[in-house]
């Protein structure tokens, strides 16, 4: 076992990691765990002298002695307990993970359908080339001690495979529920999504908690591979409450003419960081990364998106909106790397933040590295309170200042929600946003 | 209905209104004309209750209430409506929702029952027909992506739905082509009645061919310097505002 150095805070996970590394597992998983453990030993925990973490202080995560959930928990949850997190009246495939492990009795559609296979990592026998070829391969450029720790555990998570030309009509919903069992627990979900050539899929990720105020840490890694012409529509809903720490890294590689559309909705946690790394590997690939976060007092949301334009004629969009209340912070980084030869790159980004309090702060940074000469890259940012002249407009129509402010805020946020193509989610989130900001 | 006496107002410390006096009786249409910078829009904004303007002197009474004491929303509930020269765009809020919320706030303040979505939709449909607005605008975000003319028409739609007692139209004619001008004017004329008064702020006489005013006032350097009937507008059109300046200089 590799020696873990340079941080006393790391050693607390060593016995858990040692136990996990002894477990039998497919070769692909063992390899990822070993590499994760090696990297975890080498890498410092992120700190504020690192550019990507300058405005996000993760010390509260690093210093909390979390108990990693390394075996399925006795949770006692039943389907009705989950009704507000799931979509029981929809004919979806739903994989429910409780404290990091699949709960088959709460899940449905595990048998998949023609062209679609779903499985959980813990049940994987490792003999499946479609997954073996990609498992653990996508995180080269975005490794941190946190993603390394996730790899070193690699205990459970969702495995999704959509065959060539398949276009399942049912969304695949991954639900991650954390419960509290009297201690600060940590889970490290590890997911892999593979879409073969011309496959289409809708993937929904929901992160929730039975007891939102309790301290918990979710440290998720998702790898997604889109073959030529594939189309992935992905929605993430992060709503696990003010006690939660949530770090997630999603690494996507896109083949020729593929399309990836992502929506990340984050409704406030103590420290939430969502990192998206998209490699546009094939010519003509397109990605659109959208986000909305709503934070309240004491919360932090960090959105980091990195898009590598590696081939010609690719298109990317990053559009994130935030509404910040109380003493809360948001951090946005939109990094675009245009590689040599990636001509006719078309890349745009926009970060818009509404400040509901003068104690809220936002740090927004576009970063462009361009090594091609025929490219179009734009970026922009807006920050400010709801404009007085817009509030005045409401007031001249008989509505109070509070009502004007509330509706303006709702409208600002709901612009992102209203774009969602999946009606049940759109309606649920619309209600959520309306209830949050509507005036009394 | 509206009695303005010696109204003075400043914006960012600069005096803009310097003693406006105006009496508007129920059912009357008053046109306020004047060159750029004479204070026309400021007057409209001050009446509507925009707090960016400081009233330093004078009084405004509306339906027996001291208007200057009331915040903008209470003025609206009392029946004051401003059609903006530059209506703002509101992201994510549909025209229909915006208007229903406004109308219900006004109804509540009068002790009337709120309209539910179904009844409101019916009302909105009628009013949209009346001001010749495509029904699809009901579900579009307020003014977002509307052309200049569509925004102005949308202001008239709002007026038709909210049915104010005093409607102030701030350069509603600017940027309108002749067809849009006719539609907007017809909308206004349909709303004219013995209990509803209008203050029509305009730079040009053109609009007054369609909406015939009872009185025309010329605003110059923050005060009304000349009043007359609709013929005054024609005279202004012919002679230009320099004529007023010269008259004032020789007086």
A348/A414 same-domain check: no
Chain A touched by B26 (CB under 8 Å):
no
A124/A45 same-domain check: yes
Residue A381 lies in a domain: yes
Chain B touched by A63 (CB under 8 Å):
no
Is B105–A400 a contact, with Cβ atoms under 8 angstroms apart? Answer: yes
Is B92–A397 a contact, with Cβ atoms under 8 angstroms apart? Answer: no
Pair type for strands A116-120 and A158-162: antiparallel
| pLDDT value for A5 | 47
Mean pLDDT within A345-353: 97
Residue A210 lies in a domain: yes
Residue A3 lies in a domain: no
Chain B touched by A388 (CB under 8 Å):
yes
Cα separation, A206 vs A235, in Å, equals: 8
User: Nearest-CA distance from A409 to chain B in Å?
Assistant: 9
A295/A434 same-domain check: no
3-state secondary structure chain B: CEEEEEEEEEECCEEEEEEEEEEECCCCEEEEECCCCCCHHHHHHHHHCCCCEEEEEEEEEECCEEHHHCCHHHHHHHCEEEECCCCCCCCCCEHHHHHHHHHHHHHHHCCCCCCCHHHHHHHHHHHHHHCCCCHHHHHCECCCCCCHHHHHHHHHHHHHHHCCCEEEEECCCCCCCHHHHHHHHHHHHHHCECCEEEEEEECCCHHHHCCCCCEEEEEECCEEEEEECHHHHHHHHHHCHHHHHHHHHHC
A421/A378 same-domain check: no
Chain B touched by A114 (CB under 8 Å):
no
Is B102–A397 a contact, with Cβ atoms under 8 angstroms apart? Answer: yes
Instruction: Give the residues across from A301 on adjacent strands.
Output: A272, A330
| pLDDT value for B251 | 67
Residue A67 lies in a domain: yes
A429/A379 same-domain check: no
Q: Which one of A393, A396, A418 makes the best mutation probe of the B interface by having the most chain B beta carbons within 10 Å?
A: A396
Residue A90 lies in a domain: yes
Residue A136 lies in a domain: yes
Residue of chain B minimizing CA distance to A413: B92
A344/A365 same-domain check: yes
The full set of domains in chain B, from first to last, is 2-91+164-250 (3.40.50.300)
Does residue B174 carry a pLDDT above 90? no
Is A410–B106 a contact, with Cβ atoms under 8 angstroms apart? Answer: no
Residue of chain B minimizing CA distance to A439: B101
Q: Which residues of B touch A415 (CB under 8 A)?
A: 91-92, 141
What's the domain range around A419? Answer: 386-440
A333/A257 same-domain check: yes
A76/A163 same-domain check: yes
pLDDT in tens, A240-299: 999 999 999 999 999 999 999 999 999 999 999 999 999 999 999 999 999 999 999 999
Q: State the pLDDT confidence band at A438, using cuts at 50, 70 and 90.
A: confident
Residue of chain B minimizing CA distance to A414: B92
Residue A1 lies in a domain: no
A411/A358 same-domain check: no
How many domains does chain A divide into? 2
Q: Which residues of B touch A403 (CB under 8 A)?
A: 101, 105
Is A398–B109 a contact, with Cβ atoms under 8 angstroms apart? Answer: yes
A205/A281 same-domain check: yes
A328/A185 same-domain check: yes
Does residue A4 carry a pLDDT above 70? no
Q: State the pLDDT confidence band at A203, using cuts at 50, 70 and 90.
A: very high
Residue A70 lies in a domain: yes
Does residue A6 carry a pLDDT above 70? no
CB-facing half-sphere around the CA of B125: CA atoms within 13 A:
6
Cα separation, A390 vs A384, in Å, equals: 13
Which candidate from B80, B101, B109 shows the least CB-CB separation from A407?
B101
A359/A423 same-domain check: no
């Amino acid at each position: 076992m590799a020696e873990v150095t340079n941080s006393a805070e790391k050693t607390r996970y060593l016995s858990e990691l040692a136990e996990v590394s002894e477990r039998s597992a497919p070769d692909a998983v063992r390899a990822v765990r070993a590499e994760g453990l090696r990297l975890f030993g080498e890498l410092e925990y992120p700190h504020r002298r690192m550019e990507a973490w300058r405005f996000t202080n993760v010390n509260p995560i690093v210093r909390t002695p979390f108990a990693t959930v390394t075996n399925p928990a006795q949770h006692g949850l039943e389907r009705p307990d989950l009704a507000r997190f799931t979509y029981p009246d929809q004919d979806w495939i739903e994989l429910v993970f409780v404290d990091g492990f699949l709960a088959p009795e709460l899940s449905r559609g595990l048998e998949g359908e023609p062209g679609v296979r779903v499985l959980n990592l813990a049940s994987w026998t490792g003999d499946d080339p479609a997954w073996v070829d990609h498992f653990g391969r996508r995180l080269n450029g975005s490794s941190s001690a946190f993603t390394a720790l996730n790899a070193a555990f690699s205990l459970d998570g969702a495995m999704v495979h959509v065959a060539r030309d398949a276009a399942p009509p049912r969304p695949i919903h991954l639900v991650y529920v954390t419960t509290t069992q009297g201690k600060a627990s940590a889970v490290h979900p590890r997911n892999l999504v593979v879409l073969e050539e011309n496959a289409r899929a809708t993937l929904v990720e929901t992160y929730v908690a039975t007891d939102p105020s309790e301290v918990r840490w979710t440290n998720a890694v998702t790898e997604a591979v889109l073959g030529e012409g594939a189309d992935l529509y992905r929605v993430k809903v992060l709503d696990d409450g003010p006690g939660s720490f949530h770090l997630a890294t999603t690494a996507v590689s896109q083949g020729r003419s593929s399309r990836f559309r992502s929506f990340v909705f984050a409704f406030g946690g103590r420290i939430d960081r969502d990192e998206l790394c998209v490699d546009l590997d094939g010519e003509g690939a397109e990605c659109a990364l959208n986000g909305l976060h709503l934070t309240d007092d004491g919360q932090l949301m960090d959105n980091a998106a990195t898009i590598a334009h590696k081939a010609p004629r690719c298109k990317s969009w990053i559009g994130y909106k935030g509404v910040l209340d109380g003493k809360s912070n948001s951090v946005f980084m939109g990094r675009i790397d245009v590689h040599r030869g990636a001509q006719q790159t078309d890349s745009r980004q926009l970060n818009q933040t509404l400040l509901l309090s003068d104690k809220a702060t936002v740090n927004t940074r576009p970063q462009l590295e361009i090594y091609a000469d025929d490219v179009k890259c734009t970026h922009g940012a807006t920050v400010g309170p709801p404009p007085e002249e817009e509030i005045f407009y409401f007031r001249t129509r008989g509505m109070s200042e509070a009502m004007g402010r509330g509706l303006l805020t709702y409208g600002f946020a709901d612009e992102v929600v209203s774009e969602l193509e999946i009606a049940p989610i759109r309606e649920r989130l619309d209600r959520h946003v309306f209830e949050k900001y509507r005036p009394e | 209905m509206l009695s303005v006496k010696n109204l003075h107002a400043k914006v960012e410390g600069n005096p803009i209104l310097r003693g406006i006096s105006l009496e508007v009786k129920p059912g009357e249409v008053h046109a306020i004309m004047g060159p750029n910078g004479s204070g026309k829009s400021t007057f409209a904004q001050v009446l509507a209750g925009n707090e960016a303007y400081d009233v330093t002197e004078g009084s405004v009474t509306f339906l027996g209430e001291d208007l200057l004491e009331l915040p903008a929303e209470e003025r609206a509930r009392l029946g004051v409506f401003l059609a903006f020269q530059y209506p703002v765009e509101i992201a994510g809020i549909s025209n229909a929702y915006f208007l229903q919320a406004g109308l219900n706030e006004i109804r509540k303040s009068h002790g009337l029952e709120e309209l539910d979505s179904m009844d409101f939709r019916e009302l909105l449909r009628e009013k949209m027909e009346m001001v010749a607005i495509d029904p699809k605008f009901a579900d579009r975000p307020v003014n977002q992506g509307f052309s200049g003319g569509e925004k102005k028409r949308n202001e008239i739609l709002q007026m038709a739905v909210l049915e104010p007692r005093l409607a102030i139209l701030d350069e509603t004619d600017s940027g309108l082509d002749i067809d849009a001008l006719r539609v907007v004017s017809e909308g206004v004329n349909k709303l004219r009645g013995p209990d509803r008064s209008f203050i029509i702020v305009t730079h040009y006489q053109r609009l007054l061919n369609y909406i015939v005013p009872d009185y025309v006032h010329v605003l110059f350097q923050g005060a009304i310097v000349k009043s007359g009937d609709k013929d005054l507008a024609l005279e202004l059109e012919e002679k230009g505002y320099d004529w007023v300046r010269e008259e004032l200089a020789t007086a």
